[in-house]
A and B are shown apart, each in its own frame.
Chain A
């Protein structure tokens, strides 16, 4: 049995087990996540050692059958999912427990039984998405992903979360419809739906419209400005573990498809690329402005995701020819660093809100409470998001700017730097308040106690920090040959 089939089917079977045997949901969830992480590590090592591999499911070669393909990019994305997943698992176990206790809060039980099947489905769908070599199959993985993500949004059960989840469901369905329409049109225009169809689509107007439809579906699902209207509410009203998954992992699925379209030769139309550059820049500006104006911590972090998605989409659309340049690698590295940092940030914000009892930014200064581990994790994650050395974010922006200078695209360099300055501005709204100390802290101020949620946040934040020093590993994966 190979890693690729188990990477999808194992979390999926664990999700079934967690659904049927709801009392042991957390145990199944933990086992599925850890096993999947082991497989992800093994896949990354074997892709690094012996190059990309692909299997034709059922022995039917593409385009008739579906291929699962594991190249460096897919292996990196799967490893990213596994890393973030492990961190989120620690937080979920801490928050909702491993086993039912004798006297249990019904809310806690409901969260535990709801979270694990949804997370395992998300994990299986993401792994399937990264491995898929077929457009229609990609659409199906997006369907699982979308439904599970709506469930994760609504999990906390508050009125605000339910409303946000409904908007998310409608937006996600519209995105799916656009995607499906694009795939159907690609089938009509070129007669097949495996990824090999993408270079053929540029030849006809119908093919180019198909690509445009697929990209707009991806934009809606990735919350690309101005299609992000559903996202801040959904990400800011979910439970911390769910927010971390939604913001760090789920939107990456759509961004990955955009990157895949580029690598397979689908994003060749200049108009489309210029459009995406404009939308990416717009997202960076608008997300930053909204983050600067946000009054709640979770909302600030969610709007920062809008800005970061803009940056990643910008990196994808300026990458130029992937066969000659390496600028596209910047997009993959930025996705990795954003996933780690943003998951850490949402978990940290969850802990801060738990200690403070609210998440208003203006109320972060409290004289009776010292800043604790969560604030520390937030600051480290902020450093990675801004892109200071030695973090993963720094390496991503370095590769991006290096590639842009190589192309002589100075206006885009200016855009990226402006976005970076804006991110410093909105993140320091929080970090500066965490740097308190001195006279306004009362002498007897208590320090927040350590919780497992802090461990998860700090672990992910430090992974983002050290990923910069260890960036040879992801770069080696990305430098390997790609399947196309």
Chain B
């Protein structure tokens, strides 16, 4: 396997270089997509399937789609070159950072990770058996709650700054509708499965939300879904529902048990599933609207 790992590392470097050196935006984004998939593969090699799923679905897939869409609306890149001194300074900084990191990695003391035994000791009380879900939704649920706020803040930003009006996708061929009839229900099914699976195996709200977003995007491209036709208020409510449920649950738990985000005894799994259900819907809707854009506030979407 060491040969495979070395090849993987080399391929990641090549993909990164090709993304940086491509003369046009589409080429650069293609390089980025390949780069993301290879990084996802390396996460698999590092025994982190949850991170690999998230990297492939969101880090590479959805981000790549957002970039392609943005590149499509931008003017061709300006030809002006970055001054030589600026390039040299950037290279120097990057070398310094890389050197510092290399020294740090060389110097790392033996693994004294304190979390593994702690997670293992408390996993039984977390309500789920997948340690990643236990960390994300129970031990460190506060981080996840705030991360959802980050996602929503990004959507607010897109709504405030994004171009007015959403573009209508070009019509696709006659075979697209039968394809949609299979894909759309399938994506809901897979999302539900991933959500349920998250309690015991890699999966969970982020992956489920990304799959749901894929189904919604397919509907959008088929013309069956037009966010522009829906008033902005309900769309916002859909995107905010997950994090609103999460915040309300955090406070409700405090009322019930006296501690913020401490789920009542024995009911952890129900609380986690309810929160994750809300998160899945909101993540799917938010990712879709990040792609299609929406108008802030006013009803004229």
A residues lining the B interface (CB < 8 Å): 1-2, 4-6, 9, 12-13, 16, 19-23, 25, 55-60, 63-66, 68, 109-110, 113-114, 117-118, 121, 124-125, 128, 136-137, 140-141, 143-144, 147-148, 150-151, 154-155, 162, 165, 181, 185, 187-192, 204-206, 209-210, 212-213
Contacts and interface: CB of A to CB of B under 8 A. Distances in A.
B259 A66 contact: no
A2 B254 contact: yes
A20 B237 contact: yes
Given A19-B236, A191-B113, A58 B244 contact: no
Given A59-B259, A66-B140, 11 more contacts: A5-B254, A13-B248, A16-B152, A55-B260, A58-B138, A58-B259, A144-B146, A162-B161, A191-B114, A206-B103, A206-B107
A188 B108 contact: yes
B232 interface: yes
Interface stretch (B20-28, B115-123, B191-199): B115-123
Nearest to A21: B233
Contacts of A144: 146, 149-150, 153
B240 A192 contact: no
> Interface size bucket, B side?
35 or more
A154 B161 contact: yes
15 contacts: A1-B255, A5-B251, A25-B297, A57-B142, A57-B262, A58-B138, A63-B118, A110-B297, A121-B156, A155-B160, A181-B101, A191-B111, A191-B113, A206-B104, A212-B100
A110 B237 CA distance: 19
- Secondary structure at the A interface, as helix, strand, loop or mixed, is helix
Nearest to A148: B153
A65 B125 CA distance: 14
B260 A209 contact: no
B157 interface: yes
B266 interface: no
Per CB-CB distance, the 10 closest pairs between chain A and chain B, nearest first, are: A22-B297, A113-B297, A206-B104, A59-B262, A147-B153, A209-B104, A205-B107, A58-B261, A5-B260, A64-B118
A176 B274 CA distance: 31
A206 B115 CA distance: 19
A6 B260 CA distance: 10
B59 to A, nearest CB: 14
A185 B261 CA distance: 28
B104 A60 contact: no
B146 A128 contact: yes
Contacts of B112: 190-191
Nearest to A121: B153
B173 interface: no
Contacts of A136: 140, 143
Interface in B231-254: 232-233, 236-237, 240, 243-244, 247-248, 250-251, 254
B298 interface: yes
A12 B149 contact: yes
Interface of B: 100-101, 103-105, 107-109, 111-115, 118-119, 122, 138-143, 146-147, 149-150, 152-154, 156-157, 160-161, 232-233, 236-237, 240, 243-244, 247-248, 250-251, 254-255, 257, 259-263, 296-298
A159 B62 CA distance: 29
A325 B242 CA distance: 47
B261 A57 contact: yes
- Secondary structure at the B interface, as helix, strand, loop or mixed, is helix
Given A58-B138, A58-B261, A9 B247 contact: yes
Given A60-B139, A113-B296, A140 B156 contact: no
A144 B243 CA distance: 14
Contact of A22 (B101, B113, B260, B296): B296
Nearest to A185: B104
A150 B243 CA distance: 21
Given A64-B122, A185-B104, A206-B109, A140 B259 contact: no
A118 B296 CA distance: 12
Contacts of A1: 251, 254-255
Contact of B103 (A55, A110, A191, A209): A209
A12 B111 CA distance: 38
Contacts of B138: 58, 60
Contact of B251 (A9, A110, A125, A140): A9
B134 to A, nearest CB: 10
A59 B138 CA distance: 10
Contacts of B244: 13, 16
B23 to A, nearest CB: 21
Contact of A66 (B108, B142, B248): B142
B143 A151 contact: no
Nearest to B243: A16
A121 B260 contact: no
Contacts of B262: 57-59
Nearest to A136: B143
A459 B138 CA distance: 44
A60 B122 contact: yes
B105 A206 contact: yes
B82 to A, nearest CB: 14
Contacts of A2: 254, 260
A20 B240 contact: yes
A13 to B, nearest CB: 6
Contact of A19 (B118, B240, B248, B254): B240
B160 to A, nearest CB: 5
Nearest to A106: B298
B113 to A, nearest CB: 4
Contact of A64 (B139, B153, B160): B139
Contacts of B297: 22-23, 25, 109-110, 113-114
Contacts of B254: 1-2, 5
B150 A9 contact: no
Chain B CB count within 10 A is highest, among A12, A23, A141, for: A12
Nearest to B257: A59
Contacts of A137: 140, 142-143, 146
B257 to A, nearest CB: 8
A118 B161 CA distance: 13
A94 to B, nearest CB: 20
A4 B251 CA distance: 11
Contacts of A192: 114-115
Contacts of A110: 296-297
A191 B115 contact: yes
A110 B156 CA distance: 13
Given A25-B297, A144-B150, A204 B107 contact: yes
Nearest to A1: B254
A209 B150 CA distance: 28
